[in-house]
Amino acid sequence: MILHKLNEHPLYCYMNPQEIASIEKVRIEQTFIAHESIIAIGERNRDLMCLDEGSVSIQVEDTQGTITEVARLHEGSLIGEMNYIIPTRRTANVVSLTEVVASYYPYAELCALLAQQPILAAKLFAALNIQLQMKLRRMLPA
């Protein structure tokens, strides 16, 4: 199957309007105020999140407890794609820098939907692959 980008949404980029409508059924929208904790290191949550509006700080903690910002993500970014694929605890804090409107895709509901629609699953995982590639490239030295 050769996939062609149909739009710029980080999760829906290969999906047609019917597929988007299907995945929208599991989407939950949530708003966070500035400086609110969205995800904490160690959480077991495997939900995917897309930033619809606003910016967040991605922070890690070293062995001495010092917290360091490692990235800032803005509107149109995905959060949690690695944790969705590999079942580990969350490895970073995500804190809102501005008011943030985010779309959550709860893990169990999304998995159930993808199990029923294998073509949709292939398109979603292709989109996740692109996001992971882009994040890896940003982390590598130039």
Map residue 142 onto helix, strand or coil. coil
Residue 132: closest CA among 93, 91, 85, 81: 81
How far apart are alpha carbons 134 and 103 in whole angstroms?
A: 20
Domains of the chain: 17-137 (2.60.120.10)
CA distance 119 to 137: 27
Q: How high is the pLDDT of residue 141?
A: 67
pTM of the model: 0.84
What pLDDT tens digit does each residue of the chain (142 aa) get? 666 777 788 899 999 999 999 999 999 999 999 999 999 988 888 999 999 999 999 999 888 989 999 889 999 999 988 888 888 888 899 999 999 999 999 999 999 999 999 999 999 999 998 888 777 676 666 6
Whole-number pLDDT of residue 140: 67
What integer pLDDT is reported at residue 3 of this predicted model? 67
**CA dist 123 → 21, 47, 75, 78 (Å):** 14, 17, 21, 15
Helix (H/G/I), strand (E/B), else coil: 87: coil
Task: Give the Cα separation of 81 and 116 in Å (integer).
Answer: 20
Return the structure tokens found at 131.
């996001």
What pLDDT score does 142 carry? 60
Q: Is 81 in contact with 128 (CB distance < 8 Å)?
A: yes
| pLDDT of 84 | 84
Measured distance CA(139)–CA(70) in Å, rounded = 10
